[in-house]
Structure 1
Amino acid sequence: MKTDKVYFWDPYLKGVGQIMLQSNVLTGLLFLIGILINSPVMALAALVAVTVGTLTAKLLKFDEENINSGLYGFNATLVGVALIVFFEATLLIWIAIVVLSAVSALIMNFFIQKKIPVFTFPFIILTWIALFIFHSVTPVPDAPADYLTEIVEYTPFSLMNYGLGFGEVIFQGSLLSGVIFFIAVYVSSPTAALYGLFGALFGVLVAILLKDRIEDVKMGMFSFNAVLCSIVFSGPKKINGLYVVIAVILSGITEEIMLRCDLPVLTFPFVFGTWLTLIIRDVLVKKLIPSSTTE
């Protein structure tokens, strides 16, 4: 059987693209460009992290197909960018990026072997641990304020929110970066990109119904998890729209609870909302509406 040629850069760029579930080289490259435009330091961290995560999988001889699909790179990439977002880029932080990127590959492989759809959970766990260690155990100065999203004057339904919805998935509070990220997903899957746009809008609606702080809504805090939920369940079937709505609502409720408890949100609302929706889909919907599998 003829197989597509794999270039040496494929696992690394696809690893970046898999942040939004796109095993696509061009998507990964555009993500890196979007990060670079907003923050060269974050782009460097992303490159270091995806390289370490992927090389760890190669050295430990994990499944080659999974490696070439980028499955060992996206959690590492997010860890690398997150540490630069939260902390000053000291030597200790760069060491942490290398170590945690390698560990993310180990965690990812465990869940792959168990056939558990883990999504960005390794990134979440490792970043929570890093936040605790570098805030409470071995304090590291916070990142300069210019790395963070600034609140600007616009309405929650403006174009800015769509840009931030995609941009904040990789911690980029920039409209230009967000637009590039949308294009990056679109070139891989137009359906996923358009569902992501719907998710950004619907996430805002959910936040408003939950009466959350308008500043959080303006910063895209209730859009980026919704974008990921929408991409996961995007597809041509009519039932896909229902799953997207359910996942975004569950994600919004989870995020609201976490914000009120002053917990670091990251992409946990996306992961938890998606897990619950998968359970609803597999346990309830397919039993109650058998035809949903073919519509």
Structure 2
Amino acid sequence: MAIRLSTTGLVADNGDFTHSLLNFLDCVLRGVGQVMLQGNSYAGLLFLVGIFCNSPLFGLGALLGTGASTATAMMLGTDRGQVRAGLFGFNGGLVAIALLYFLEPDALTWGCVIFAAACSTIMMAGIASLMGNWKLPALTAPFVLTSLCFFLATARFGRIESTDLLPTAGLPKAVTVEGVVTASTVVDGLFNGIAQVFFQGNVITGILFVAGLLISSRAACIAALAGSLTGLLVAWGMGAAEPAIRAGAFGYNSVLVAIALGGQFFVPGRASAAYAVFATIATALVFAAVSASLEPLGLPALTLPFVLVTWLFLLASPAFACLQRKTT
């Protein structure tokens, strides 16, 4: 059997079992990479290494969730090109990590992880079909909706226990400026903002994610760093608590928006760069608003701000002659 290395992943050249297994693994790795809009299995591999470096539990969850959602898409006869690109894997991977992060990782939760990841494939197909009418990508909306559904369901299922990381339901309260932002805060917050895309609060993990982005796309790497820094600075300027800034809470949605609008969906140029910067600034504010609005339900914002801001800015783009959407 011949195995070739392409610029984005593995390619096996015959039709035996090993070929199928390698191609499935390649799809899974690309799915992990697509969390940051990178259909590159090398980037996905480094993302996985970064997750395992911080938490073997979450690393295993990312593999299982991405594998389950990818396998579901294959069994249902989804377009092979989209499956190969990892487009039916990344939401399942995020769902798995979210459930393991916010729910106690017992046997029942692991069963929910597999089922929820499979459901995200159905959700992905449905949202992609709906949003296709407006030429909008599904992004991580399937992950957000699937995860929030499971978190809400915990209120009626006594055997599904949440961790203390799930927000406590209650009316939002105004916060005061807490802590002093130092150079250490900025450095930690910069890389944690990238790591938090996968719910990982670890600077080394963030650095590995940056390396994965750099392998896939230098422009995406720069955009991610700029997005994380922008979210951090907006949060600092607005008086967010220092621990939240250091943890990267205000950065990860801005990271995704910067990658999406800074080169993924628009032809690169000064106008698109300025548009992306404007969007990343808005994202930090939207994150605060979404977090406060979901607090009475005891739900986290997840990547909902990224989805809302990206959809809005893509919908608005035809009105601006200086912006040019990429053709698929």
Q: What TM-score do you get using the length of structure 2 for normalisation?
A: 0.80
Gap change, CA 1:113 and 1:279, over 3 Å in 2: closer
- How far off its partner does 1:153 sit? 8.3
The alignment's C-alpha RMSD in Å is: 2.2
- How far off its partner does 1:269 sit? 0.7
- Out of 286, 306, 315, the residue aligned to residue 254 of structure 1 is 286
In the alignment, which residue of structure 1 is the partner of 2:170? none
- How far off its partner does 1:10 sit? 1.4
Deviations 1:227-262 (A, max 9, x none): 000000123311221221222123122111123332
In the alignment, which residue of structure 2 is the partner of 1:176? 204
- How far off its partner does 1:103 sit? 0.7
In the alignment, which residue of structure 2 is the partner of 1:148? none
Gap change, CA 1:23 and 1:38, over 3 Å in 2: same
Separation in 1 of the partners of 2:58 and 2:228?
24
SS of residue paired to 1:234: helix
Separation in 2 of the partners of 1:79 and 1:119?
13
Amino acid at match of 1:161: G
Q: Map of 1:237-276 to 2, 5 A cutoff? A: 237-261=269-293, 262=295, 263-276=299-312
Amino acid at match of 2:110: W
- Out of 80, 84, 97, the residue aligned to residue 81 of structure 1 is 97
Q: Residue 163 in 1 paired to residue 195 in 2?
A: no
Amino acid at match of 1:220: G
Deviations 1:154-189 (A, max 9, x none): 637521111101100000000000110111111000
> Which has the larger Rg?
2
- How far off its partner does 1:58 sit? 0.4
Q: Map of 1:58-207 to 2, 5 A cutoff? A: 58-114=74-130, 115=132, 116-138=136-158, 140-143=160-163, 155=182, 158-207=186-235
Report if aligned partners of 1:48, 1:80 keep a CA contact under 8 Å in 2: yes
Report if aligned partners of 1:20, 1:228 keep a CA contact under 8 Å in 2: yes
Separation in 2 of the partners of 1:14 and 1:199?
22
Report if aligned partners of 2:181, 2:242 keep a CA contact under 8 Å in 1: no
Separation in 1 of the partners of 2:62 and 2:180?
30
In the alignment, which residue of structure 2 is the partner of 1:36? 52
Q: Which runs of 5+ in 2 are unaligned?
A: 1-5, 13-21, 166-177
- How far off its partner does 1:50 sit? 0.8
Gap change, CA 1:214 and 1:260, over 3 Å in 2: farther
Deviations 1:187-227 (A, max 9, x none): 00011110111111111222234333333222111100010
Question: How many correspondences in the alignment?
Answer: 281
- Out of 249, 256, 265, the residue aligned to residue 221 of structure 1 is 249
Q: Which runs of 5+ in 1 are unaligned?
A: 146-150
